[in-house]
Amino acid sequence: DAKTTQPTSMDCAEGRAANLPCNHSTISGNEYVYWYRQIHSQGPQYIIHGLKNNETNEMASLIITEDRKSSTLILPHATLRDTAVYYCIVTSSGGYQKVTFGIGTKLQVIP
Amino acid sequence: GAVVSQHPSWVICKSGTSVKIECRSLDFQATTMFWYRQFPKQSLMLMATSNEGSKATYEQGVEKDKFLINHASLTLSTLTVTSAHPEDSSFYICSAKRDVTSEQYFGPGTRLTVT
Give per-residue pLDDT as tens, B12-55. Answer: 999 999 999 999 999 999 888 999 999 998 999 999 998 888 88
> Within an 8 Å CB–CB cutoff, is residue A41 touching chain B?
yes
DSSP code at position A68: S
User: Which residue, among A50, A57, A56, A45, has the nearest Cα to A81 in the 3D structure?
Assistant: A45
Least confident piece of the model among A4-13, A60-69, B25-34: B25-34
For residues B51 and B42, what is the distance between their CA atoms, to the nearest angstrom?
Answer: 27
> Within an 8 Å CB–CB cutoff, is residue B20 touching chain A?
no
Res A50: pLDDT: 93
> Within an 8 Å CB–CB cutoff, is residue B4 touching chain A?
yes
pLDDT band at A2 (very low <50, low <70, confident <90, very high): low
Contact B46 A100 (CB under 8 A): yes
Q: What is the 3-state secondary structure (H, E, C) of A47-75?
A: EEEECCCCEECCCCEEEECCCCCEEEEEE
| Percent of chain B whose predicted confidence (pLDDT) is above 70 | 97
Res A96: pLDDT: 54
Q: Does A33 score more than 70 pLDDT?
A: yes
pLDDT band at A99 (very low <50, low <70, confident <90, very high): confident
Average predicted confidence (pLDDT) for chain A: 92
Q: Classify each residue of B57-77 as buried b or exposed e, where b means 16 or more C-beta atoms within 10 Å of its C-beta.
A: ebeeebeeeebbbebeebbbb
Considering only CB atoms, which chain A residues are within 8 Å of B46?
A: 98-101
- In this prediction, residues A57-78 reach a mean pLDDT of 96
Compute the C-alpha angle A47/B21/B107, nearest 5°.
10
Contact A95 B108 (CB under 8 A): no
Distance from CA of B41 to the nearest CA of A (A): 9
Q: Does B100 score more than 90 pLDDT?
A: no
For residues B95 and A72, what is the distance between their CA atoms, to the nearest angstrom?
Answer: 25
Contact A101 B103 (CB under 8 A): no
Q: Does B99 score more than 80 pLDDT?
A: no
For residues A66 and B96, what is the distance between their CA atoms, to the nearest angstrom?
Answer: 31
Choose from A1, A38, A90 for mutation: most chain B CBs within 10 A.
A38
Res A60: pLDDT: 97
> Within an 8 Å CB–CB cutoff, is residue A8 touching chain B?
no
For residues A15 and A110, what is the distance between their CA atoms, to the nearest angstrom?
Answer: 9
Considering only CB atoms, which chain A residues are within 8 Å of B6?
A: 43
Q: Does A97 score more than 90 pLDDT?
A: no
Contact B91 A41 (CB under 8 A): yes
- In this prediction, residues A10-20 reach a mean pLDDT of 97
For residues B39 and A22, what is the distance between their CA atoms, to the nearest angstrom?
Answer: 24
Nearest chain B residue to A93 by CA: give it: B101
- In this prediction, residues A4-13 reach a mean pLDDT of 96
Of the candidates A34, A87, A103, the beta carbon closest to that of B103 is on A34
Q: Does A47 score more than 90 pLDDT?
A: yes
Res A3: pLDDT: 86
The H helix count followed by the E strand count for chain B is 0, 11
Strand residue runs (E) in B16-59: 19-25, 32-38, 45-51, 57-58
| Three-state secondary-structure class, residue A81 | helix
